[in-house]
């Protein structure tokens, strides 16, 4: 069913109904699909987390992507904006586990892997669409027919293929390495999922006794090491001192007897030890700290793991060599005392034991940071586990080059440095996760642990020639979600098949994303895409800043300052807003504070502003790559702008519907105002187009806003009234003005559509027949191209003059407190032939807009008492003897004269400067000279006027 606009537009802009109606119709009509011809243009949406809901960051990025997409589509390109969601391994698994526990009181282990996964899929089918539904409300013109999910079978094929090829090339390997371990969720997690939080911590200073009677130069029989994690003492393998540190030079190579454990460990020299920090000695625990791992590696130390996957102390340590093979030489015995204790319990006990032994030298209070799992909320433990890794170095090189060579460009440019810096010392990437929900690693093991990689057990048997006597078990781990999203641009287009889509839409044109995932996602997409397609995934990366609250604070649930984009679109009352902000808090005690804050900031809740206003605000604030402090006032301002456009359309429609608008190309006569607004329209079209091309959405939005409000509404619509309402107007004149009203409005709608799609479409449907335009939807209309030959410089200059006279009169009127509606007589003096021509041609505009009783040139009779303003050299006089406060007028002129004199002084000073005259460009000097002459002349005129007044 086609949307039918109301019989007449409502007096006030009411976005909700319009927006829902059009979103539905556009999608149903299939306007979001690629048109199938023309130059291709494509954007892949950064797949949002399937468990997520739309936040301001999404709204921001999606508004930008939609603007680009609609803009390109209107340029008649074969445009694809592809949408989809990310399976979000941990988040989804946790969500379903919680649901299962709440509803059935079962754990995932009770169900078993197969059944649990079925539950996850059920959840996904029922509830996984929240964020895509919200996307629709934003007007996102994504091709819903091609919606993708990273767990789709087609996509899984790509994931498998990539894994297998990388493995076969030796770029994927399995090994024992330190990873960020989440002891609650029992999985490795990525750096991105680790939140570092500042806290007040303790630094425990322990004495480590030297073996064999060795003493320090000071005569002590121990070294002091400090640690924030005493429990790791059990896994220490050496103590490091700085090689330049003379205090300990004699001890390097000597041994220490590790307290409580009794193990002999050496003192080694390593730069990692900071001479100025504490005693300068550092305990090294390679199996429990990332830095220590590196130190251990340099000194060929074994890895002694003392913790379980729950981060409790093991009964016996696990000891490995650096290559991951078991180390039999070191005694794995751990003290009985700590067995099975949680790390924090073990810490307390260990400190107490050390104190009892007289080995606790000091406890220092310090500020430090601790890593927390962002999902589980528990402290992350670096833990030695078997994991799968991607060798990054060979993939990184081409990825760096692609950016160096400009095949991929970052906007803004400075993010390229960030990218290079990270890519230069990139580490191998841990891609396995100990979860059930995700892409299962396509690897099988035989009984002795040999690894076979392939699509399926069958494929593996064939590939490796394994008979049925060999029993195979598939690896239980899944792949990091980022591994699959790294294939997003080409995996979603059908790769590894050579599909038409892949040929047409890859590489994609631009990726719009936040700077926080350049490393985790952008870099990985570049590496993997280059590797497998020999193409870059996208030509441009447009990096957005963060949206913060009005105080510059990050929005977060715990701060209670989150703004939901949909609440700004549809509005929300205070009660519901409070409910939303204070429920489900991690720290419920914050609820009161948040409620108070919210009541203060939004005493009446949040009003409805509509999608267009929200989008326009986001775009208008999208300056290059910096964070945005959200400002509700700007949102209101742009909602008002939509209302302005709406009402302008009402005016145009009421004056053109059912009238002769010259649609058939009948002869017309264009007024100065018509020629001027047409000229300004061309300039604006060029400007908006240029800014969109440079990703300066703020400048594009601004140029549009200014043209619509300041030129079209404030001046042109007002100037059209005297023509339309003139009793003796010619048909050609009327037709010309009506046609211009309608055509310029129609162009405005096309120009604004990518930014504010709904309101423009709604109005356009009404305007198009009047403008003689065909088409089912504004979405498919042509992007307005500026026509240089329609820019009439004379008209622009003439209209500036008209505006100048009107403004002069308004100014005088206000200065003298004359009622706005009162008709005034006006006298013009010192009018040049040019001024006289302009006056002749535009008398009616001046009379109506300045509300003049009559308008004459000063003749022989001279001037009565007047208030005067200058327009260029021409004097604009209000002859109002009875109404003018003489003294006030003289004072006003004084102020004006003073201002001019200041100006003259500065300009004259410049011109007196020899080196300015000789060195500055001639044009600049000329300009200054003219400026001085103008100011001098004006000053003279004002002084003369003052004298005249005084005489009277």
Partner RNA sequence: GGGUGGUUAGCUCAGUUGGGAGAGCACCAGCCUUACAAGCUGGGGGUCACUGGUUCGAACCCAGUACCACCCA
Name residues contacting RNA, limited to 813-872 (CB under 7 A): 813-815, 817, 819-821
Q: Does 623 bind RNA (CB under 7 A)?
A: yes
At how many degrees (to 10) do helices 130-137 and 15-29 cross? 110
Q: Which residues contact 46 (CB under 8 A, 6 or more apart)?
A: 61, 488, 511, 512, 513, 517, 521
Q: Does 688 bind RNA (CB under 7 A)?
A: no
DSSP 569: H
Q: Does 873 bind RNA (CB under 7 A)?
A: no
In the complex, least distance from residue 813 CB atom to RNA, rounded to whole angstroms? 7
Q: Does 650 bind RNA (CB under 7 A)?
A: yes
With CB under 7 A as the contact rule, the residue among 271, 500, 631, 800 that binds RNA is 631
CA distances from 823 to 723, 726, 838, 889 (A): 19, 18, 21, 20
Decide whether 660 or 903 has the Cβ nearer to RNA: 903
Q: The sheet that has 187-189: what strands, in order across it? A: 187-189, 172-182, 381-390, 429-430
Site residues for RNA, 191-250, by CB under 7 A, read 191
In the complex, least distance from residue 97 CB atom to RNA, rounded to whole angstroms? 29
Q: Tokens at residue 475, please?
A: 């690896």
With CB under 7 A as the contact rule, the residue among 503, 596, 626, 730 that binds RNA is 626
Q: Does 277 bind RNA (CB under 7 A)?
A: no
Beta strands in 106-168 (DSSP E): 148-149
Give the span between the Cα atoms of 587 and 582, in whole angstroms: 10
Decide whether 219 or 819 has the Cβ nearer to RNA: 819
Contact segment (CB under 7 A) with RNA among 308-316, 370-378, 384-392, 616-624 equals: 616-624
Burial of 686 (0-12, 13-18, 19+ CB in 10 A): middle
With CB under 7 A as the contact rule, the residue among 810, 830, 929, 943 that binds RNA is 810
Rounded to 5 degrees, φ, ψ at 692 are -65, -40
Q: Does 144 bind RNA (CB under 7 A)?
A: no
Q: Tokens at residue 50, please?
A: 């399937």
Decide whether 16 or 780 has the Cβ nearer to RNA: 16
Site residues for RNA, 10-39, by CB under 7 A, read 11-14
Site residues for RNA, 750-809, by CB under 7 A, read 807
Q: Does 624 bind RNA (CB under 7 A)?
A: yes
In the complex, least distance from residue 482 CB atom to RNA, rounded to whole angstroms? 14
Give the span between the Cα atoms of 382 and 289, in whole angstroms: 6
**Could you tell me where the DSSP H helices lie in 694-730?**
697-706, 718-724
Q: Does 550 bind RNA (CB under 7 A)?
A: yes
With CB under 7 A as the contact rule, the residue among 361, 709, 726, 873 that binds RNA is 709
CB atoms within 10 A of CB 202: 15
Contact segment (CB under 7 A) with RNA among 125-133, 595-603, 760-768, 908-916 equals: 908-916
DSSP lists the bridge partners of residue 548 as 554, 629
Rg (CA), the chain: 37
Give the span between the Cα atoms of 762 and 15, in whole angstroms: 10
With CB under 7 A as the contact rule, the residue among 663, 931, 943, 948 that binds RNA is 931
Helices (H) then strands (E): counts for the chain:
31, 31
339, 315 in Cβ contact below 8 A? yes
Find, among 783, 641, 640, 649, the residue nearest to 717 by Cα: 649
Decide whether 474 or 624 has the Cβ nearer to RNA: 624
In the complex, least distance from residue 820 CB atom to RNA, rounded to whole angstroms? 5
DSSP lists the bridge partners of residue 318 as 305
Rounded to 5 degrees, φ, ψ at 557 are -55, -45
Rounded to 5 degrees, φ, ψ at 426 are -80, 145
In the complex, least distance from residue 702 CB atom to RNA, rounded to whole angstroms? 6
Q: Tokens at residue 643, please?
A: 């209302």
CB atoms within 10 A of CB 295: 22
With CB under 7 A as the contact rule, the residue among 698, 732, 936, 948 that binds RNA is 698
CB atoms within 10 A of CB 357: 13
Decide whether 843 or 927 has the Cβ nearer to RNA: 927
Decide whether 122 or 631 has the Cβ nearer to RNA: 631
Q: Collapse the DSSP code of 800 into the 3-class scheme (helix H, G, I; strand E, B; otherwise coil) and give the result.
A: helix
Site residues for RNA, 475-534, by CB under 7 A, read 515-516, 519
Q: Does 658 bind RNA (CB under 7 A)?
A: no
CA distances from 63 to 21, 53, 84, 613, 756 (A): 19, 16, 16, 11, 9
Q: Does 644 bind RNA (CB under 7 A)?
A: yes
In the complex, least distance from residue 31 CB atom to RNA, rounded to whole angstroms? 27
Residue the block writes with tokens 């120009």: 751
Q: Does 647 bind RNA (CB under 7 A)?
A: yes
266, 255 in Cβ contact below 8 A? yes
Decide whether 369 or 462 has the Cβ nearer to RNA: 369
Q: Collapse the DSSP code of 11 into the 3-class scheme (helix H, G, I; strand E, B; otherwise coil) and give the result.
A: coil
Decide whether 319 or 717 has the Cβ nearer to RNA: 717
Site residues for RNA, 710-729, by CB under 7 A, read 713-714, 717-718, 721, 725
Give the span between the Cα atoms of 552 and 806, in whole angstroms: 43
Q: Which residues contact 840 (CB under 8 A, 6 or more apart)?
A: none
In the complex, least distance from residue 349 CB atom to RNA, rounded to whole angstroms? 31
In the complex, least distance from residue 546 CB atom to RNA, rounded to whole angstroms? 8
In the complex, least distance from residue 190 CB atom to RNA, rounded to whole angstroms? 11
Give the span between the Cα atoms of 295 and 396, in whole angstroms: 25
Decide whether 820 or 862 has the Cβ nearer to RNA: 820
In the complex, least distance from residue 686 CB atom to RNA, rounded to whole angstroms? 13
Q: Does 64 bind RNA (CB under 7 A)?
A: no
Q: Does 916 bind RNA (CB under 7 A)?
A: yes
Site residues for RNA, 102-121, by CB under 7 A, read none
In the complex, least distance from residue 643 CB atom to RNA, rounded to whole angstroms? 4
Q: Does 636 bind RNA (CB under 7 A)?
A: yes
- Count of residues touching RNA (by CB under 7 A): 76
Decide whether 487 or 846 has the Cβ nearer to RNA: 846
- Which bin fits 775, alpha (ψ -120 to 50), beta or left (φ > 0)? left
In the complex, least distance from residue 608 CB atom to RNA, rounded to whole angstroms? 8
Q: Collapse the DSSP code of 219 into the 3-class scheme (helix H, G, I; strand E, B; otherwise coil) and give the result.
A: coil
Q: Does 421 bind RNA (CB under 7 A)?
A: yes
User: Of all helices (H) and strands (E), which one includes residue 912?
Assistant: helix 886-912
Q: Does 696 bind RNA (CB under 7 A)?
A: yes
With CB under 7 A as the contact rule, the residue among 637, 804, 825, 872 that binds RNA is 637
CA distances from 235 to 210, 638, 845 (A): 18, 61, 90
Q: Does 648 bind RNA (CB under 7 A)?
A: yes
Write the interaction track for RNA spanning residues 170-199; mark x where CB under 7 A is met and - where it is not: ---------------------x--------
Decide whether 179 or 234 has the Cβ nearer to RNA: 179
Burial of 365 (0-12, 13-18, 19+ CB in 10 A): exposed
Q: Does 651 bind RNA (CB under 7 A)?
A: yes
With CB under 7 A as the contact rule, the residue among 205, 639, 753, 877 that binds RNA is 639
Decide whether 202 or 721 has the Cβ nearer to RNA: 721
Contact segment (CB under 7 A) with RNA among 137-145, 394-402, 620-628, 771-779 equals: 620-628
In the complex, least distance from residue 12 CB atom to RNA, rounded to whole angstroms? 4
DSSP lists the bridge partners of residue 227 as 204
Give the span between the Cα atoms of 719 and 214, in whole angstroms: 99
Site residues for RNA, 283-302, by CB under 7 A, read 291
Decide whether 469 or 914 has the Cβ nearer to RNA: 914
């Amino acid at each position: 069913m086609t949307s039918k606009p109301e019989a007449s537009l409502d007096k006030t802009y009411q976005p909700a109904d319009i927006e829902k109606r059009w979103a539905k119709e556009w999608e149903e009509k299939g306007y979001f699909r690629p048109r199938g011809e023309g130059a291709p243009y494509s954007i892949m949406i950064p797949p949002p987390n399937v468990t997520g809901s739309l936040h301001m960051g999404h709204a921001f990025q999606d508004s930008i992507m939609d603007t680009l997409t609609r803009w390109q589509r209107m340029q008649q390109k074969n445009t694809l904006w592809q949408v989809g969601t990310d399976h979000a391994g941990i988040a989804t698994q946790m969500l379903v586990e919680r649901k299962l526990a709440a509803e059935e009181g079962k754990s995932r282990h009770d169900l078993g892997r197969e059944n649990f996964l079925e539950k996850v899929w059920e959840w996904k089918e029922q509830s996984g669409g929240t964020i895509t539904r919200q996307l629709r409300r934003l007007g996102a013109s994504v091709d819903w027919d091609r919606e993708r999910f990273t767990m789709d079978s087609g996509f899984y094929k790509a994931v498998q293929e990539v894994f297998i090829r990388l493995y076969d090339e030796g770029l994927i390997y399995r090994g024992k390495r330190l990873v960020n371990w989440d002891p609650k969720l029992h999985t490795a997690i990525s750096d991105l999922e680790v939140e570092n939080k500042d806290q007040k911590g303790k630094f425990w200073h322990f004495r480590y006794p030297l073996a064999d009677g060795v003493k320090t130069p000071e005569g002590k029989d121990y070294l002091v090491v400090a640690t924030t994690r005493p429990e790791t003492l059990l896994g220490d393998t050496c103590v490091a001192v700085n090689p330049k540190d003379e205090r300990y030079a004699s001890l390097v190579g000597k041994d220490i007897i590790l307290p409580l454990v009794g193990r002999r460990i050496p003192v080694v020299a390593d730069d990692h030890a900071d001479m100025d920090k504490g005693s300068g000695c550092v305990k090294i625990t390679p199996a429990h700290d990332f830095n220590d791992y590196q130190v251990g590696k340099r000194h060929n130390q074994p890895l002694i793991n003392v913790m379980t996957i729950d981060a409790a102390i093991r009964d016996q340590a696990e000891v490995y060599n650096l290559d991951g093979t078991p180390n039999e030489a070191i005694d794995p015995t751990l003290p009985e005392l700590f067995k099975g204790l949680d790390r924090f319990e073990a810490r307390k006990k260990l400190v107490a034991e050390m104190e009892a032994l007289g080995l606790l030298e000091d406890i220092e209070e310090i500020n430090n940071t601790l890593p927390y799992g962002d999902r589980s909320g528990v402290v992350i433990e670096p833990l030695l586990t078997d994991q799968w890794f991607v060798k990054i170095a060979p993939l990184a090189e081409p990825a760096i080059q692609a950016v160096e060579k400009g095949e991929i460009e970052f906007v803004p440019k400075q993010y390229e440095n960030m990218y290079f810096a990270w890519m230069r010392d990139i580490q191998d990437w841990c891609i396995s996760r100990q979860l059930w929900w995700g892409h299962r690693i396509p690897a099988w093991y035989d009984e002795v642990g040999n690894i076979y990689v392939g699509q399926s057990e069958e494929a593996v048997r064939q590939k490796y020639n394994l008979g049925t006597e060999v029993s195979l078990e598939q690896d239980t781990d899944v792949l990091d979600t980022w591994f699959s999203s790294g294939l997003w641009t080409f995996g979603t287009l059908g790769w590894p098949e050579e599909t038409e889509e892949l040929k047409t839409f890859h590489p994609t044109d631009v990726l719009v994303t936040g700077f926080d995932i350049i490393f985790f996602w952008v870099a990985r997409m570049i590496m993997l895409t280059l590797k497998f397609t020999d193409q870059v995934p996208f030509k441009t990366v447009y990096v957005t800043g963060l949206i913060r609250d009005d105080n510059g604070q990050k929005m977060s649930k715990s701060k209670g300052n989150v703004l939901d984009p949909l609440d700004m679109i549809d509005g929300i009352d205070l009660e519901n807003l409070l409910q939303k902000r204070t429920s489900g808090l991690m720290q419920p005690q914050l609820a009161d504070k948040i409620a108070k804050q919210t009541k203060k900031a939004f005493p009446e809740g949040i009003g409805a502003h509509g999608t267009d206003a929200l989008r326009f605000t986001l775009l208008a604030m999208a300056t290059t790559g910096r964070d945005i402090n959200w400002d509700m006032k700007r949102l209101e301002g742009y909602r008002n702008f939509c209302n302005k456009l709406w009402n302008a359309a009402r005016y145009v429609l009421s004056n053109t519907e059912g009238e002769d608008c010259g649609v058939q190309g009948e002869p017309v006569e264009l007024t100065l105002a018509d020629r001027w607004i047409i000229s300004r329209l061309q300039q604006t079209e060029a400007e908006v187009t240029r800014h969109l091309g440079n990703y300066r959405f703020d400048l594009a939005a601004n140029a549009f806003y200014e043209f619509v409000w300041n030129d079209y509404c404030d001046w042109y619509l007002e100037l059209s009234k005297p023509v339309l309402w003139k009793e003796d107007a010619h048909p050609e004149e009327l037709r010309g003005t009506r046609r211009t009203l309608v055509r310029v409005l129609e162009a405005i709608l096309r120009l604004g559509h990518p930014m504010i799609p709904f309101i423009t479409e709604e109005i356009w449907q009404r305007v198009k027949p009047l403008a003689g335009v065909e088409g089912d939807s504004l979405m498919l209309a042509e992007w307005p191209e500026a026509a240089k030959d329609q820019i009439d410089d004379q008209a622009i200059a003439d209209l500036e003059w008209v505006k100048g006279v009107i403004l002069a009169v308004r100014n005088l009127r206000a200065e003298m407190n004359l009622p706005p509606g009162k008709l005034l007589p006006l006298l013009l003096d010192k009018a040049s032939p040019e001024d006289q021509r302009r006056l002749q041609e535009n008398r009616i505009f001046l009379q109506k807009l300045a509300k003049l009783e009559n308008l004459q040139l000063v003749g022989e009779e001279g001037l009565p008492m007047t208030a005067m303003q200058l327009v260029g050299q021409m004097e604009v006089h209000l002859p109002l003897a009875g109404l003018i406060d003489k003294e006030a007028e003289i004072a006003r002129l004084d102020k004006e004269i003073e201002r001019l004199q200041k100006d003259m002084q500065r300009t004259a000073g410049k011109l007196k400067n020899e080196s300015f005259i000789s060195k500055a460009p001639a044009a600049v000097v000329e300009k200054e000279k003219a400026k001085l002459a103008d100011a001098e002349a004006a000053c003279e005129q004002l002084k003369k006027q003052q004298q005249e007044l005084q005489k009277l």
